[in-house]
């Protein structure tokens, strides 16, 4: 890996003073007021202050069209921001692209592949294009990457015969040819079947346990909850919140769930007890958690003769947090 010069002057470094993170900054990605307005006038990304801690698996969550890919393309130096700054591995982008990008494995909106070449030969070409890659160890490196993503058996097939999931995994293999400080994956499970999604997720977990910071975008809430330690939530070009997944979910209140055959009576008692947002769905009655004692609610139900099969406060999910923050549901279809 080439040595980034520690003494290189950094004209965009002035934000370090204001941000107060000079030197000891442990963030791998950090943006300040990052904004992109496309030529047509579309404001795709609006004043993003994003902080991705080192060693995290950071889920960049948002419905389709919320600005995730545009942000990632700015982080990778592929497009210029309209205003604001982005630092990746502590260096300003896109100015330090030449030093930063060799340390970053990226998979953005479907990998560019040669359909007429085998999966293996596609990786050989990728590897050969990297001036820091030793040609003597190329075969081993390519085989290891193919193995890692589960494509060893299909390595000799032409890439155009690959399924979408296999293409996605081949793109991931290309990003894994070298050890990386950071992996940036734009919707890596998009278009995959459930089995393919599971494989990518376990791969991401495995990479993260090696200490690689992973930044992955997704429009799937449960995916972020399953894989990520941290998340940032995008809606209409703006970052609504960011933090650890546990903290984000804790910020949203859970739901009281009563499972009972006597739903109407349960709903009446809950309302009588001053509990808000009572909803009946089949054999369950859910509501906001009560302000007072949970046991008082349970006692009131029993006194009213309600047959209670289940009584619990369910933990808030990231989805609850999203709904609470945006006041709208999560638009999966985009
Ligand atoms: N090249 C482009 N020119 C103009 N508008 C674009 C371009 N790329 C994306 N957009 C618009 O910017 C917004 C954000 O898009 P995008 O970053 O692709 O969101 P996401 O990745 O979250 O789906 C969308 O409204 C999209 O239509
Ligand atoms: Mg996208």
Tell me the pLDDT tens digit for each residue of 173-231.
Answer: 998 999 889 999 999 888 788 888 888 888 888 888 888 999 999 988 888 888 999 99
HSE-CB at 187 with a 13 A cutoff on CA atoms is 20
Ligand 1 binding residues, C-beta < 6 A: 38, 40, 42, 44, 62, 64-70
Give 238 or 254, the one with higher predicted confidence: 238
The predicted model gives 255-269 an average pLDDT of: 95
Give 21 or 117, the one with higher predicted confidence: 117
Output 6-15 pairs: Cβ under 8 A, ≥24 positions apart. 10/91, 10/92, 11/92, 12/85, 12/87, 12/92, 12/95, 13/92, 15/85
Residue 329: what pLDDT?
Answer: 63
Token digits of residue 25: 């900054």
Residue 279: what pLDDT?
Answer: 93
Which residue CA neighbors atom 26 of ligand 1 most closely? 65
Residue 19: what pLDDT?
Answer: 37
Nearest CA among 207, 247, 252 for reference residue 227: 207
Instruction: Determine the residue of 44, 217, 233 to mutate for testing ligand 1's pocket, defined as the one with the most ligand atoms within 8 A of the Cβ atom.
Output: 44
Confidence class of residue 20 from pLDDT cuts 50, 70 and 90?
Answer: very low
66 alpha carbon, closest ligand: 1
Which residue CA neighbors atom 25 of ligand 1 most closely? 65
The predicted model gives 257-278 an average pLDDT of: 95
Distances in whole angstroms, Cα of residue 123 to Cα of each of 76, 129, 145, 179? 21, 10, 9, 15
- Does the pLDDT of residue 71 top 50, yes or no? yes
Give 40 or 318, the one with higher predicted confidence: 40
Measure 36 CA to ligand 1 centroid, in angstroms: 10
Nearest CA among 159, 139, 155 for reference residue 147: 155
Token digits of residue 238: 């703006």
Which residue CA neighbors atom 14 of ligand 1 most closely? 67
Confidence class of residue 100 from pLDDT cuts 50, 70 and 90?
Answer: very high
Which residue CA neighbors atom 2 of ligand 1 most closely? 38
Centre a 10 Å sphere on the Cβ of residue 277 and count the other Cβ atoms it contains.
11
The predicted model gives 270-291 an average pLDDT of: 92
Measure 257 CA to ligand 1 centroid, in angstroms: 39
Residues 309-320 have pLDDT tens digits of: 999 888 777 777
User: What does the H/E/C string look like for the chain?
Assistant: CCCCCCCCCCHHHHHHHHHCCCCCCCEEEEEEEEEEECCCCCEEEEEECCEEECCCEEEEECCCCCCHHHHHHHHCCCCCCCEEEEEECCEEECCCHHHHHHHEEEECCCCCCCCCCEHHHHHHHHHHCCCCCCHHHHHHHHHHHHHHCCCCCCCCCEHHHCCHHHHHHHHHHHHCCCCCCEEEEECCCCCCCHHHHHHHHHHHHHHHHCCCEEEEEECCHHHHHHHCCEEEEEECCEEEEEEEHHHHHHHCCCEEEEECCCHHHHHHHHHHCCCCCCEEECCEEEECCCCCCHHHHHHHHHHCCCCCCEEEEECCCHHHHHHHHHCCCCCCCC
Token digits of residue 71: 């942000």
Instruction: Determine the residue of 34, 37, 38 to mutate for testing ligand 1's pocket, defined as the one with the most ligand atoms within 8 A of the Cβ atom.
Output: 38
How high does pLDDT run on average in the chain?
86
Residue 131: what pLDDT?
Answer: 85
62 alpha carbon, closest ligand: 1
Structural domains of the chain sorted by starting position, each given as residue range(s) with its CATH number in brackets: 27-250 (3.40.50.300), 252-326 (3.30.70.100)
Q: Are the C-beta atoms of 247 and 325 separated by less than 8 Å?
A: no
Confidence class of residue 330 from pLDDT cuts 50, 70 and 90?
Answer: low
Confidence class of residue 128 from pLDDT cuts 50, 70 and 90?
Answer: very high
Nearest CA among 66, 78, 85 for reference residue 15: 85
First-to-last C-alpha distance (Å) of the chain: 40
The residue with tokens 């293409």 is: 167
Distance separating alpha carbons of residues 159 and 162, to the nearest angstrom: 5
Residue 5: what pLDDT?
Answer: 44
Instruction: Determine the residue of 42, 76, 80, 237 to mutate for testing ligand 1's pocket, defined as the one with the most ligand atoms within 8 A of the Cβ atom.
Output: 42
**For a pLDDT cut of 70, what percent of the chain falls above it?**
88
333 alpha carbon, closest ligand: 1
61 alpha carbon, closest ligand: 1
Phi-psi region of 34 (alpha: psi -120 to 50; beta: other; left: phi over 0): beta
Measure 70 CA to ligand 1 centroid, in angstroms: 6
Residue 48: what pLDDT?
Answer: 97
> Is this structure's pTM higher than 0.85?
no
Residue 186: what pLDDT?
Answer: 93
Atom of ligand 1 nearest to the CA of 219: 22
């Amino acid at each position: 890996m080439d040595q980034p010069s520690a003494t290189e002057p950094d004209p965009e470094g002035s934000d370090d003073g204001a941000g107060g993170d000079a030197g000891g900054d442990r963030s791998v990605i950090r943006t300040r007021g990052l904004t992109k307005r496309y030529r047509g006038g579309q404001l795709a990304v609006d004043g993003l202050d994003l902080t991705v801690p080192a060693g995290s698996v950071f889920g960049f969550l948002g419905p389709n069209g919320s600005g995730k890919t545009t942000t990632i393309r700015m982080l990778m130096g592929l497009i210029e921001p309209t205003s604001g700054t982005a630092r990746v591995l502590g260096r300003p982008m896109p100015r330090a692209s030449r030093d930063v990008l060799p340390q970053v494995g990226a998979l953005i909106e479907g990998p560019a592949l040669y359909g007429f070449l085998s999966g293996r030969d596609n990786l050989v070409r990728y590897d050969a294009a990297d001036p820091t890659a030793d040609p003597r160890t190329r075969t081993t490196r390519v085989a290891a990457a193919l193995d890692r993503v589960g494509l060893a058996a299909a390595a000799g097939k032409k890439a155009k015969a690959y399924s979408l999931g296999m293409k996605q995994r081949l793109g991931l293999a290309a990003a894994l040819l070298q050890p990386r400080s950071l992996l940036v994956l734009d919707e890596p499970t998009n278009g995959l079947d459930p089995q393919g999604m599971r494989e990518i997720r376990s791969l991401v977990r495995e990479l993260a346990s090696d200490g690689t910071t992973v930044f992955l975008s997704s429009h799937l809430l449960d995916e972020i909850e399953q894989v990520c330690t941290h998340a940032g939530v995008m809606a209409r070009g703006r970052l609504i919140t960011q933090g650890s997944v546990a903290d984000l979910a804790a910020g949203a209140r859970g739901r009281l769930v009563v499972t009972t055959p006597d739903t109407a009576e349960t709903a009446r008692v809950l309302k009588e007890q001053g509990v808000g947002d009572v909803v009946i769905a089949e054999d369950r009655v859910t509501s906001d958690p009560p302000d007072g004692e949970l046991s008082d609610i349970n006692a009131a139900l029993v006194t009213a003769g309600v047959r209670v099969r289940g009584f619990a406060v369910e933990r808030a999910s990231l989805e609850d947090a999203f709904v609470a923050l945006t006041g709208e549901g999560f638009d999966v279809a985009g």
